[in-house]
Amino acid sequence: MLNLQRLCVFCGSSAGFDPIHAQMAGNMGASMAREGIELVYGGGSVGLMGAIADAVLQSGGHVVGVIPRFLATRELLHQGVSDMRITDTMHERKALMSELSDAFVALPGGLGTYEELFEVLTWAQLGLHRKPTGLLNIAGFFDPLIALIDRAITDCFCRDEYRQLFVVDDQPESLLQKLREHEPPTVKKWIPSPEQT
C-alpha cells in the first residue's frame, strides 16, 4: 500500500458556476489535512486552486505551491502558502510538482488541468513513473472524458490497460483510499496495427 505523504492536485483557477465544485475542493483539502497528506498545487489563491489550498491550511495541513515566474506576476499568489516554489517555465513547474508528489489527482478545471492530467498519464504509459493518478469526479464532471478514453480504447488507439492507469471516485476520502491501494499496470507502449494482430 502506498505511503501517501504528498498529493499533487490539478484543478481550475476558476470555481465554475456550480458551488458544488468549490465545496468538494474544500472537502478534498480538509480530508487531506486530516489524513496528514500535504498538498502540492499550482500556487494560486483563486478558483478551485484557492479553495483546496484554503481548506488544507484551515485544517492545519501543509501546502506547497509551484508557479512559474511569468504567471506569478499576473496571478494572485496565495499569501497563506509559506512554501511557494517559483520556477522559470511551465515545464519546470510540472516537473517539480511531479518530483515532489507521491500521487496525482485532477479536480474539475479547463485546458490546463486536462493538459497536466494527460501528461502524467502519458508519463505513466511510457513507464517514466508508477505513481497513482485519480479523478475526483464531482457531479459527473469527468464522465465525458472517461467516455472519450473508453472510445479511444474501443477504436484501438489505446490499450485496454490504459484505463487502469487512473482511478475514479466522487468522494475525497474514498478516492484517497483508492490511490493508496492502486497498483498502476505495466503496459506496453505501442498499439499494434490491425494487420499486426
Tell me the pLDDT tens digit for each residue of 48-58. Answer: 999 999 999 99
User: Looking at the domain assignment, is residue 102 inside a domain?
Assistant: yes
Q: What's the whole-number mean pLDDT along residues 59-82?
A: 87
Q: What is the pLDDT of residues 126-142, one digit of tens each?
A: 989 999 999 999 999 99
What is each CA distance from 193 to 36, 77, 159, in whole angstroms?
46, 48, 12
- Average pLDDT of the segment spanning 79-106: 95
Q: Is position 36 within any domain? A: yes
Q: Within 10 Å of residue 154's Cβ, how many Cβ atoms?
A: 10
Report how far apart, in Å, the C-alpha atoms of 110 and of each of 25, 107, 137, 139, 186 are: 15, 10, 14, 16, 29
User: For residue 1, is it within any domain?
Assistant: no
Q: Report the number of distinct structural domains present in the chain.
A: 1
Low-confidence winner among 39-43, 79-83, 115-119, 145-149 (lowest mean pLDDT):
79-83
Q: Is residue 74 predicted with pLDDT exceeding 90?
A: no
CATH number at residue 189: 3.40.50.450
Q: Is residue 181 part of a domain?
A: yes
The percentage of residues in the chain with a pLDDT greater than 70, rounded to a whole number, is 93
Give me the pLDDT at residue 194, please. 54
Under 8 Å between Cβ of 29 and 54 = yes
C-alpha to C-alpha distance for 180 and 162, rounded to whole angstroms: 19
d(C-alpha 179, C-alpha 163), whole Å: 15
Q: Is residue 82 part of a domain?
A: yes
φ/ψ (deg, to 5) at 45: -110, 0
Mean pLDDT in residue range 152-173: 94
Buried b / exposed e over 49-69, threshold 16 CB at 10 Å, is bbbbbbbbbeeebbbbbbbbe
Average per-residue pLDDT for the chain: 93
- In this prediction, residue 70 carries a pLDDT of 87
Overall average pLDDT of the 29-45 stretch = 97
Distance CA 182, CA 2 (A): 8
Say if 89 falls within a structural domain: yes
What is the domain range of residue 34? 6-196
Residue 71 has pLDDT above 90, yes or no: no
- Considering the domain boundaries, does residue 148 fall inside one? yes
pLDDT at 104 over 70: yes
How is residue 72 written as a grid cell?
506569478
Q: Grid coordinates standing for 127?
A: 513507464
Give the confidence band of 75 by pLDDT, cuts at 50, 70, 90: low
Q: Provide the pLDDT for residue 193.
A: 56
Name the burial class of residue 17, with classes exposed (0-12), middle (13-18) and buried (19+) by CB atoms within 10 angstroms of its CB: exposed
